[in-house]
Amino acid sequence: MKLRRKLFAAVSSLAVASAVLLAGCGTAAQEGTALKETGTLTLSVNPEIQIEYNRDGKVTALTGRNDDGKGIVDAYPDYIGKDCEVVLQDLIVEINEAGYFVDDIDGNKKNIVLQLEPGSVLPSHDFLADMSASTQEAVQGLNLSSGIVTIDDDDYDPTYAKGGEPSPYITLEKAQEIALTQANVEATDAVFDDKEFDHDDGTPIFELEFTANGNEYEYDVHAVTGKIMRAEHKTIGTQSGNQNTGSGSANYGDTDYGPNSDGVTDYNDTDYGPNSDGVTDYNDTDYGPNSDGVTDYNDTDYGPNSDGVTDYNDTDYGPNSDGVTDYNDTDYGPNSDGVTDYNDTDYGPNNDGVTDYNDTDYGPNSDGVTDYDDGNSNYGDDGGDSGYDD
């Protein structure tokens, strides 16, 4: 009898222990306790890269989840067996060298999202935190300012869990955190005016609107990957502001019409002065001859010496070009001796400087004697024959 009771008690204890064990396993599975031997961590910037690792945290595979990610993976073949944190840092370097951190989103560098797949094995209790710290170290080493956001088991919305499978969608709170990180806004400064979960052409997104620090923000966050799909903001009270999407940024207020090309429009600094010193000096036009920045309206130097002194009396109309105007010395005489001799015109035949008005020499001999009856005219000359009587 006693033996039967002991046997019954032993069986009963075994049954209870079995029930507890089974119940524990069931609870663990429902809560998403890591039961796999491997894990999956997804790195998202613009390239999306899936990192598979084992229980020891060693990388076993890399997969590009979009075209940009595939390009990065192809450029980094030596990853098998490396620690997950080392591979993460190497990938950040590769992504930076490929130029994916150049473009801003709403004026800030792109977020880096580290997403742990539900049910993944955890090599350590602080595995995801350690991965975030390693990524941050790589970012700082490259002098980048990108924010880092992590998504783990607790950041999925259990409302959408079906058939024993975990929810594929992150929570609204996580989407808000991602938006604030990208906008570089503290959670205590933000007020969310509108928040909606929707499908945009089949893509699940959170549409978020919030205000902070005098600005209105509109952000769309991918509900699965946490990627920023759209981002823009404007100053409250204006019609338009800094509007940006995931591909870049635009600052329409910076046209830089000022003289310094410093990105600041200074409409009062037109620098019309001569020195190009950024100061407009309307009184310094330097119309003088010396280009010394001083306007000397009395120094036009119309004189002959180009000495900066205007000598209106020294025009040197004389023949000697000696800088002295001699109006009496025009040298109209024949000798060009600088002396005007109005009586010496030498109209005579000898060019002797003496005008002999009586010596016209109209005769045939050019002997200086005018012989009007020389040439056999026979006018009253007995020795000639005029022919009038013949």
Cβ contacts of 246-252, under 8 Å, gap ≥ 24: 246/46, 246/103, 246/105, 246/110, 247/103, 248/103, 248/104, 249/103, 249/104, 249/105, 249/106, 249/107
Instruction: Give the pLDDT score at 284.
Output: 57
Domain assignments of the chain as residue spans, ordered by start: 38-245
Contact 369, 361 (CB under 8 A): yes
Instruction: Give the pLDDT score at 244.
Output: 46
Average pLDDT over residues 363-382: 52
More confident residue, 193 or 295: 193
Calculate the average pLDDT of the chain: 74
Instruction: Give the pLDDT score at 339.
Output: 63
Average pLDDT over residues 93-106: 94
Q: Give the C-alpha separation, 336 to 15, whole Å.
A: 150
Whether the per-residue pLDDT at 318 is higher than 60: the answer is: no
- Which position has the token pair 């902070």? 212
Instruction: Give the pLDDT score at 336.
Output: 61
Pick the CATH number of 38-245 from 2.40.50.180, 3.10.450.40, 3.40.640.10, 3.40.190.10: 3.10.450.40
Q: Would you give the DSSP letter of residue 213?
A: T
More confident residue, 128 or 18: 128
Whether the per-residue pLDDT at 330 is higher than 50: the answer is: yes
Whether the per-residue pLDDT at 107 is higher than 60: the answer is: yes
When mean pLDDT is compared across 3-7, 97-101, 123-127, the lowest value belongs to 3-7
Q: Coil, strand or helix: which one is 176?
A: helix
Average pLDDT over residues 267-293: 57
Band of the pLDDT at 220, cuts 50, 70, 90? very high
Whether the per-residue pLDDT at 23 is higher than 60: the answer is: no
Bridge partners for 338 per DSSP = none
More confident residue, 341 or 200: 200
More confident residue, 334 or 382: 334
Q: Coil, strand or helix: which one is 95?
A: helix
Torsion, Cα of 376, 381, 387, 390 (10° steps) = -160
Average pLDDT over residues 259-282: 53
Structure tokens at 353: 């400087």
Instruction: Give the pLDDT score at 252.
Output: 33
Whether the per-residue pLDDT at 286 is higher than 90: the answer is: no
Instruction: Compute and round to an integer the Cα radius of gyration of the chain.
Output: 54
Average pLDDT over residues 263-272: 52
More confident residue, 384 or 152: 152
Instruction: Give the pLDDT score at 249.
Output: 37
Average pLDDT over residues 230-239: 83
Band of the pLDDT at 94, cuts 50, 70, 90? very high
Q: Coil, strand or helix: which one is 154?
A: helix
Q: What is the pLDDT of residues 239-262, one digit of tens each?
A: 554 544 443 333 334 444 444 445
Average pLDDT over residues 205-214: 96
Instruction: Give the pLDDT score at 37.
Output: 87
Instruction: Give the pLDDT score at 13.
Output: 43
Instruction: Give the pLDDT score at 237.
Output: 72
Q: What is the pLDDT of residues 148-203, one digit of tens each?
A: 999 999 999 999 998 888 899 999 999 999 999 999 999 999 999 999 999 988 99
Contacts of 57 (CB under 8 A, 6+ apart): 83, 84, 85, 123, 124, 127
Whether the per-residue pLDDT at 211 is higher than 80: the answer is: yes
